[in-house]
A and B are shown apart, each in its own frame.
Chain A
Amino acid sequence: MQHVSGIEDKAKAARKKKAVYGTDVDLESYESEAKPQEIVADAEDLPSVVRKAALDVGVKLDSESSGAYVQMDQTPVVAKSLYEGVEIMDMASALEKYDFLQDYWWKLVAPDADKYTADVASAPPAGYFIRAKKGMKTVFPVKSCLYLGSTDLNQRVHNVIIAEEGSELHVITGCTTPAHVQRGLHIGVSEFFIQKDARVSFTMVHSWGKEVEVRPRTGITIAEGGSLSNNYILLKPVKTLQTFPTATLAGRGAVASFNTVIYSTMGNIDVGSNVNLNAAETSAESISRVVSVGGEVIARGRMTGRVPGARAHLECVGLLLSDKGRIYSIPELDGQSRDLDMSHEAAVGRISEEELEYLMSRGLNSEEATSVIVRGFLDVEIKGLPEDLKQEIKNITQREDLKGAP
């Protein structure tokens, strides 16, 4: 097909194109071939080590869900829907089955955006295709786990989510690597199409290794009356990670909300969100909470208002608890129209003495009081999530090991 070869040509031309943000990864130093994994019929049939790893990133594969997708290395091992309103397939099968997917494939993320997208574009497609059918609503989340299980592997994933008109879809994706994987690279391209009046929540929990590099590339478009709640949680060490998902509010009244929770102990983490408010009555909110007890975190937020009446708010708050850490907060507001309402709030600091003393007066020692404050700080209130997902996020962000010191 001409279309596909166009993608390949672009990818080829961008093979060495460095990304705008983040440290540069030497793609040549990673393997792209992995031993194929055994495909199973149900998530319950997966090896227990994978189910356990999924559980650690908030993905309970055995509890109620609308379906599941699990990819081990480069192999989609499960892609199964448990609810007629939601279709779940592995990407290669979906592309084969549906010609219409060509209208979505690489439409929100450019194959030649940088060397990482180019690398994914030149590889055989793997990833999930999730479609919430017109008017179909479900509160049970689709559960997905991307498992990087081989040392030195470059795991590539390309996902497409389509929430058709009036649908409601919740997705939780846990991306993880087991402790025995010394070194690895994960590149994930995701394209989300939220159509008229559809409601989507997308929650991603990352848990990588100390020598793993991560480059997600995400593009989102939201049509009239549609809404997205996007939640990203990273609490475990990673070598380098850079992501800057871009959402375009294309239709009247579209809404996007981004919540980011980072607990950094090492490495270089460059995260943020980029929202284009292109239609009337659109609104966007981005809240990021960063705790660093070591490592560098760059917290970006960019909102561009292009029509009168658009509303945007950015909040980047950081707690820096160590001399070994750095938090660089970069909130950007770009107003390109009259009658905009755009604001931001950014703060980087230490734990308030007053709060610390208050808890100590109740008998907590300094270390306990610090942990309580840190966990409270990371407990972001997320709207629009089903109760069990909310609880899952709470369980993850309230773990006892999140302290004021490494």
Chain B
Amino acid sequence: MWLLEIEDLSVSIGSKQVLKNFNLRINRGETHALFGPNGTGKTTLLNVIAGIPRYTVDAGRIMFKGKDITHMSMDERARLGIGMAFQRPPAIRGLRLKDLIKIINPKADATAILKKMDFEAFAERDVNRGFSGGEVKRSEMVQLLAQQPDFVMLDEPDSGVDLENIKLIGEAINSLTQKDQRPSSRTKSGVIITHFGHILDYMKADRAHVMLGGAIVCSGNPGEILEQIKRSGYEGCAGCSTCPV
């Protein structure tokens, strides 16, 4: 059984169709990377899997752990094991980061998690309030490390992050997706959106896909696909015959 299986999913916002007959399968223990130009539906895909209610699913379904989650509420999906690092999360006034960690998971070791992300100084700060771009990303990782989802979605976790912290974030993603364990014993999975692929120098992705116009046009080895994009752009991927879809 696949951990995540998306079948012929069509999604729109208002009158605009964003995903068209979209298909994707992710196994337990696998981490996939998503490439593609802006506006091609990558963030929408993640938001729809997370269950953000602004989108309309016109056709198809999303299966997670064998359950049809297409119309499940966000919090039910989260409790089922789906986690998300947002690209631009909101700030929450009056909610301290260390308190949020405890709310997300009362058993989490907040001190250890904050230390791991070199984020102890932010424990007493309001969540994301006045944080820089890179700090927001570390705040997201801290929360996910507390949540320990079985399937983690990362929407540009490397944007606005300096080199030193990209390494830290890469390590956190490896830990969330159990890349520190033997492949056969991994059960956690992930999907990551990245534009430049720098983060892939610090974390392991098993497979990559290129999205264009709301659908996957090419899938394969992350390194090879990145090379292909650098060589001939995203459009080159559309007609690529070397990587089988």
Contacts and interface: CB of A to CB of B under 8 A. Distances in A.
- Our verdict on whether A and B bind, yes or no, reads yes
A352 B90 contact: yes
B126 A372 contact: no
A366 B75 contact: yes
A354 B90 contact: yes
Interface in B69-104: 73-75, 78-79, 83-84, 86, 89-90, 92-95, 100, 103-104
A361 B51 CA distance: 8
A363 interface: yes
Given A362-B78, A362-B143, A362-B147, A379 B92 contact: no
B78 A363 contact: yes
B89 A358 contact: yes
Contacts of A355: 90, 92
Contacts of B78: 360-363
A365 B92 contact: no
Interface of B: 50-53, 73-75, 78-79, 83-84, 86, 89-90, 92-95, 100, 103-104, 126, 143, 147
B74 A376 contact: no
A358 B147 contact: no
Contact of A376 (B79, B84, B89, B126): B126
24 contacts: A354-B90, A358-B86, A358-B90, A359-B92, A360-B73, A361-B52, A362-B100, A362-B103, A362-B104, A363-B75, A363-B104, A364-B104, A365-B73, A365-B75, A366-B75, A368-B103, A369-B75, A372-B95, A373-B92, A376-B92, A378-B94, A379-B93, A379-B94, A380-B94
Interface string A341-354: 00000000000101
Contact of B95 (A360, A368, A376, A380): A376
Contacts of B86: 358, 361
Nearest to A364: B75
A372 B90 contact: no
A363 B147 contact: yes
Contacts of B53: 357
Contacts of B92: 355, 358-359, 372-373, 376
Which 4 residue pairs are nearest across A and B when measured between Cβ atoms?
Answer: A376-B94, A379-B94, A363-B78, A360-B74
Contact of A372 (B83, B89, B103, B147): B103
Given A357-B53, A360-B78, A368-B103, 16 more contacts: A355-B90, A358-B92, A361-B51, A361-B75, A361-B78, A362-B78, A363-B75, A363-B79, A364-B103, A365-B73, A372-B92, A373-B92, A373-B95, A376-B93, A379-B93, A380-B94
The A interface, classified by DSSP as helix, strand, loop or mixed, is helix
A357 B89 CA distance: 10
A377 interface: yes
Contact of B75 (A360, A372, A378): A360
A60 interface: no
A361 B50 contact: yes
A51 interface: no
A162 to B, nearest CB: 35
Nearest to B81: A363
Nearest to A373: B92
A377 B94 CA distance: 6
Contacts of B147: 362-363
B203 to A, nearest CB: 21
Contacts of B94: 375-380
Nearest to B89: A358
Residue picked from B73, B94, B126, most chain A C-beta under 10 Å? B94
A216 to B, nearest CB: 26
Interface in A181-238: none
A377 B50 CA distance: 26
A372 B92 CA distance: 9
Contacts of A375: 94-95
Contacts of A364: 75, 103-104
A365 B103 CA distance: 12
Contacts of B52: 357, 361
A270 B179 CA distance: 59
Contacts of B95: 372-373, 375-376
Contacts of B84: 361
Nearest to A352: B90
A361 B53 CA distance: 11
Interface in A321-358: 352, 354-355, 357-358
Contacts of B103: 362, 364, 368, 372
Contacts of B126: 376
Contacts of A360: 73-75, 78
Contacts of B100: 362
Nearest to A380: B94
Nearest to B88: A354
A165 B236 CA distance: 79
A379 B75 CA distance: 25
Contacts of B89: 358
B45 to A, nearest CB: 15
Nearest to B86: A358
Contacts of A362: 78, 83, 100, 103-104, 143, 147
A364 to B, nearest CB: 6
A358 B127 CA distance: 11
Interface in A291-314: none
A369 B90 CA distance: 14
A359 B84 CA distance: 11
Interface string A370-391: 0011011111100000000000
A319 to B, nearest CB: 11
Contacts of A361: 50-52, 74-75, 78, 83-84, 86
Contacts of A377: 93-94
